[in-house]
Structure 1
């Protein structure tokens, strides 16, 4: 395999490799340069003497330091941003549009995991079995559970179980009440287990408008939820056996 590079005034303008099928130096480094090739190229150049590389017919002396800096920029551009995984608990029938909007808005920052409608996927009346499935297949690998609170969220047994599974694993808990959340005398109806942890100071509670104002806003609330002491967790409430 032959590796070639073009430089102009000390800046790497394109890097490509040839495997016998020809080379297209016009392609971007992100499209054609695997990280292994970049590392090999860096090692090859840094282990040799400074070279005279020709760019547009003009010979330019490139220092090893400049080459190293240019290659580091290329490697950095190849790295994908890390997405933090969060579990989103919500009532699928009534609040799907809010989940879709949430997932779309924060797609670049968070990987939203949801239960894909447990009512149809896990056909069992065994609460402990369902809780284990929730923990193993949905909660594990995430660090925070976001509960979207709509008109009937507080009545749903699976949401209670998802909150319980979250607290069993001592993950962060963030409640976001939607515009459709029921209100009585300026009080918002939330799932009982979430209420217990709002009262204890473990769960963070905010509005849809505040949480979705910007990626930075949601990040602030998630970070606050993650900072809470585990000793504040309250998870002694009896498991909800039915909806309503």
Structure 2
């Protein structure tokens, strides 16, 4: 079973995290290695927290599942988890990244970037598949995705999926396929790591 770390906004999106972890435990969609509230002392220095996340929680994971809600992209810990997942570190190896767009974003698009994903997840879709050309195109279509994720969706050397919640909510086999396939491509992904890590939580529109 693929080992996955679930990255999410603990204040807003816990019910969605609990649901996919229920799919994991009941149907074997993945093995959950996530951080729970209270597992890490928030009063520790930022560098220490980043090191704990990287070396203790991500070290055995093969995939990071990002639950994307309306505040996700502004959270520093989520950004640290994403960048740490993209790096071959001293202890942990780089992971695949799977993005699940939550209903709160009201986003209706998807990015089928994994091998076999179109046939496995969207067999009913008969329309023409389109490619986005510019960063602003991605930001318009996915207004709640972090810049780090968008940079890597644009990267031709990265295979990554952005899937709507509705496609996996009651479909553990689809979730398992996406997690397993994300893990399979992890070693070949050459992530764009140029963006500095976020140093504080800040929503400029709040």
TM norm structure 2? 0.70
Q: What is aligned with 1:207?
A: 164
Determine if the alignment matches structure 1 residue 192 to structure 2 residue 192: no
The equivalent residue for 1:146 is 65
Verify the 8 A CA contact 2:168 2:175 in the aligned structure 1. Answer: yes
Flag the structure with larger Rg.
1
Q: Summarize the alignment of residues 47-66 of structure 1 with structure 2, pairs less than 5 Å apart.
A: none
Q: Distance in 2 between matches of 1:172 and 1:125?
A: 27
Q: Distance in 1 between matches of 2:41 and 2:34?
A: 12
**2:201 counterpart residue number:** 243
SS of residue matched to 1:146: strand
Tell me how far 1:149 sits from its aligned partner: 0.5
1:209-231 deviations in Å (ceiling 9; x for gaps): 11334121012212332233634
Q: What is residue 12 of structure 2 aligned with on the other side?
A: 94
Deviation for aligned residue 1:156: 0.4
Q: How far, CA to CA, are the matches of 1:119 and 1:237 in structure 2?
A: 27
Q: 1:221 to 1:181 in 2, by over 3 A?
A: same
* Cα distance in 2 between the residues matched to 1:119 and 1:236: 29
Matches within 5 A, 1:161-240: 161-168=80-87, 169-181=93-105, 186-200=141-155, 201-228=158-185, 230-240=188-198
Q: 1:198 to 1:92 in 2, by over 3 A?
A: same
Give CA deviations for 1:72-118 in whole Å, capped at 9, x if unaligned.
xxxxxxxxxxx432100000000011111111122131221222137
1:41 corresponds to: none
Residue in 2 aligned with 1:35?
none
After TM superposition, the score normalised by the length of structure 1 is 0.60
Residue correspondences, number: 161
More off after superposition, 135-144 vs 187-196: 187-196
In the alignment, which residue of structure 2 is the partner of 1:85?
A: 3
- Structure 2 counterpart SS, 1:102: helix
Partner of 1:43: none
Cα deviation code 1:13-57 (max 9, x no counterpart): xxxxxxxxxxxxxxxxxxxxxxxxxxxxxxxxxxxxxxxxxxxxx
Indicate yes or no: 2:112 matched with 1:112. Answer: no
* Equivalent-residue separation in structure 2 for 1:186 and 1:142 (angstroms): 29
